[in-house]
């Protein structure tokens, strides 16, 4: 019965189901905001309910903001544990963006570890943070694993909401529109107003 159920699962949920068969409890971890010119980098860690199948769950980059907002609620409602954490622009400058992203992942994982014992962490990309449990890097994982996809949605939605707070703090830069990414508008605002305290200075060296 269980085998026939697995065969009917969408591919990203089937991927996780097979991991659970050998590893036990799994967590998905992903980040958002690595490529931004300003603000924190975010990460999320998610332990989905093993029986959960969330319609439309996918890599957050493939989803509309409306779909991500809907899925955020469904993911949190269908998770045994979840957490979002960040690393600051100052930490990005100190550690570099990869180091800061891994730090945010570690922080998110530490939070869920307070309530659930994870056997295997699935990390989007080709690097794994120091978690104290088995970890597997999955290139393109946010399109392969439901747990990683769920983490990508939580991280992306959380960071976009954070960008709205940046917009309130520094309204001249219009963070609500570009979310901190290097768009034409963002570069124009930097050219007009200079950098603000939220900017990642090392990301702006090529700006005239």
pLDDT digits (tens, 9 = 90+) for 104-143: 999 999 999 999 999 999 999 999 999 999 999 999 999 9
Average pLDDT value over all residues in the chain: 94
Beta strand 41-48 with 26-32 is antiparallel
Decide if 105 contacts 129 (C-beta within 8 A). Answer: yes
C-alpha span between 169 and 175 (Å, rounded): 9
Domain containing 91: what range? 2-160
Number of structural domains, the chain?
Answer: 1
Q: Is residue 80 part of a domain?
A: yes
Q: Is residue 182 part of a domain?
A: no
Give the HSE-up count for residue 123: Cα atoms under 13 Å, Cβ half-sphere. Answer: 22
Residue 207: band (very low, low, confident or very high) from pLDDT cuts 50, 70, 90: low
Q: Is residue 186 part of a domain?
A: no
Q: Is residue 168 part of a domain?
A: no
Q: Is residue 24 part of a domain?
A: yes
6-41 per-position pLDDT tens digit: 457 899 999 999 999 999 999 999 999 999 999 999
134-192 per-position pLDDT tens digit: 999 999 999 999 999 999 999 999 999 999 999 999 999 999 999 999 999 999 999 99
Instruction: Report the CATH number at residue 43.
Output: 3.30.420.10
Q: Is residue 40 part of a domain?
A: yes
Q: Which residue has the tokens 């979310």?
A: 179
44-62 per-position pLDDT tens digit: 999 999 999 999 999 998 9
Residue with the bigger pLDDT between 15 and 204: it is 15
Share of the chain above pLDDT 70, in %: 95
Give the model's pLDDT for residue 133.
97
Q: Is residue 205 part of a domain?
A: no
- Tell whether the model's pLDDT for residue 3 goes beyond 60: no
C-alpha span between 65 and 170 (Å, rounded): 22
Give the model's pLDDT for residue 205.
77
Q: Is residue 198 part of a domain?
A: no
Q: Which residues contact 99 (CB under 8 A, 6 or more apart)?
A: none
């Amino acid at each position: 019965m269980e085998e026939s159920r697995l065969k009917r699962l969408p591919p990203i949920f089937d991927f996780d189901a097979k991991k659970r068969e050998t590893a036990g409890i799994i967590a998905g971890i992903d980040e958002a905001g690595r490529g931004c010119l300003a603000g924190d980098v975010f990460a999320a860690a998610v332990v989905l309910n093993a029986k959960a199948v969330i319609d439309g769950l996918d890599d957050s980059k493939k989803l509309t903001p409306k779909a991500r907002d809907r899925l955020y609620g469904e993911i949190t409602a269908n998770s045994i544990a979840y957490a979002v954490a960040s690393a600051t622009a100052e930490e990005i400058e100190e550690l570099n963006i990869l180091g800061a992203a891994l730090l945010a992942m570690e922080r998110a994982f530490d939070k869920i570890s307070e309530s659930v014992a994870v056997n295997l962490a699935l990390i989007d990309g080709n690097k794994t943070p120091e978690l104290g449990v088995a970890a597997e890097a999955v290139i393109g994982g946010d399109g392969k694993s439901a747990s990683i996809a769920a983490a990508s949605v939580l991280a992306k939605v959380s960071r976009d909401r954070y960008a709205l707070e940046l917009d309130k703090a520094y309204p001249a830069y219009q963070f609500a529109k570009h979310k901190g990414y290097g768009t034409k508008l963002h570069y124009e605002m930097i050219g007009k107003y200079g950098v603000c305290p939220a900017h990642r200075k090392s990301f702006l060296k090529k700006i005239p």
